[in-house]
Structure 1
Amino acid sequence: MMMQYTNVVMRGNKSTMMQDLCFKKIPEIKSSVTEVECYICGKGLHDGMSITAKTLSNGIVLFCDTHYLLQ
Structure 2
Amino acid sequence: MRKYTISDIKVGDGVYFKVKWQNNYDLFWTIISIYDENTIEIEIDEMGAKDKIFLKIQDIYLIEKR
TM tier, smaller: under 0.3
TM-score with structure 2 setting the length: 0.27
Q: Give the TM-score, by structure 1 length.
A: 0.26
The higher relative CO (CA closer than 8 Å, separation ≥ 6) is in 2
Q: Which has the larger radius of gyration?
A: 1
